Amino acid sequence: MKIKTAKPSRKAWLLRSVFGLVVLAAAATSQAQFQGHYPAGVEGLKAGTLPPPGIYLRDYTVFYSSGRLNDRHGDKIHNGFDAFVFVNAIRPIWITPLTVCGGHYGMDVLAPIFYRDVKAGGGSDAGWNLGDIFVEPITLSWHWQRADFSVGYGFWAPTGEDDLTKLDSPGLGFWSHMFTIGGTWYPEETKKWSVSALMRYELHTENTDLHITPGDTLSLEWGIGRAIWKNIEAGVVGYYQQQTNEDSGKGKMTDALDHVISVGPEVSAFCPQLKMFASLRYLYEVEAEDRPQGHTVTLTLTKPF
């Protein structure tokens, strides 16, 4: 006999949204907020710098783990929450020779593959899935002797599986517009030191299944690095991510605004034999409200063609 079940709750949707964009934590109880798509912290040192004209293939490999889910005051919720997420995202980048206002025009696409193992409130799910795809049709980048600057516009498409009954389903179920501005400053002409900042702002559309429009998401990334030997650079990176306004719609359940702060080390290098750039960073979330608090390890490989 088939048993009719109630419509999945917003709690179920949020619990299996442990990673938004490509990578980062987004889960919670019935008190929690939706999270944005963008996984703050994936760019690291010189995050505000785009490469010179050419074709590039960038690969992000991300490991995220969390055994702590916080309420709106930053206190741990004791509901057996535990999450492990593996993400591999491929990002082709094309920076063209075409210039607009002196900046090189470019574009890129990002497609993430997720493995999630999420437990909470006595339930659990695990599995592999395609996540929501990011398309950035407009980027402009400038390079001067001691500074780089970039801006961009892109959108997240709800291409990932959006099954409200599964904790491991990676699709968020709504479109998002994302605007980007960033830059890198080199205090010395030798460019041994670098100071970078990157800001992304997401405007979300309605999740029609739950009749909720998530509040906007602001992501700020920063990095301070120094060349320490030949083609090797090391430094400290971090991010701050904040929901800037409340969810809206008839399905809204809370007025809490989530945020998270993270910091950690990074090492990056260029291998002349392989003509490939690589960076490895570890980020620890030192504070989180209305969302998980955990650890992220990211390996980024960039191959120019």
Convert the pLDDT of each residue in 29-61 to its tens digit.
333 345 789 999 999 999 999 999 999 999 999
Whether residue 180 is contained in a domain is answered as yes
Determine contact, residues 77/69, Cβ cutoff 8 Å: yes
pLDDT at 129: 86
Dump pLDDT digits (tens) for 75-134.
Answer: 999 888 899 999 999 999 999 999 999 999 999 999 999 898 888 877 788 888 888 999
* Residue 5 covered by a domain: no
Residue 35 lies in a domain: yes
Give the global pTM.
0.85
* Residue-level pLDDT at 228: 93
Task: Answer whether residue 191 is part of any domain.
Answer: yes
Residue 3 within a domain: no
Mean pLDDT of 201-214: 90
pLDDT at 120: 80
Number of domains in the chain: 1
What pLDDT does residue 34 have? 57
Residue 4 lies in a domain: no
- 135: containing domain: 10-304
Report pLDDT for 10.
Answer: 45
pLDDT confidence band for 18 (50 / 70 / 90): very low
How many Cβ atoms from other residues are within 10 Å of residue 250's Cβ? 7
The confidence band for 233, taking pLDDT boundaries of 50, 70 and 90, is: very high
Give the pLDDT confidence of 169-190 residue by residue, as tens digits: 667 889 999 999 999 999 999 9
Residues 18/26, Cβ–Cβ less than 8 Å: yes
The confidence score (pLDDT) of residue 168 equals 54
- Give the pLDDT band (50/70/90) at residue 163: low
Question: Which CATH number is 219's domain given?
Answer: 2.40.128.130
Q: Is residue 242 part of a domain?
A: yes
DSSP per-residue letters across the chain:
-PPP-PPPPHHHHHHT-SB-SSS-B----TTPPP--S--TTSS-TTTT-PPPSEEEEEEEEEEEEEEEEB-TTSPBP-S--EEEEEEEEEEEEEEEEEEETTEEEEEEEEEEEEEEEEEETTEEEEEEEE--EEEEEEEEEEE-SSEEEEEEEEEEE--S---TT-TT----SS-EEEEEEEEEE-SSTT--EEEEEEEEEEEE--BTTTTBBPPPEEEEEEEEEEEEETTEEEEEEEEEEEE-S--BSTT-------EEEEEEEEEEEEETTTTEEEEEEEEEEEEEESSEEEEEEEEEEEEE-
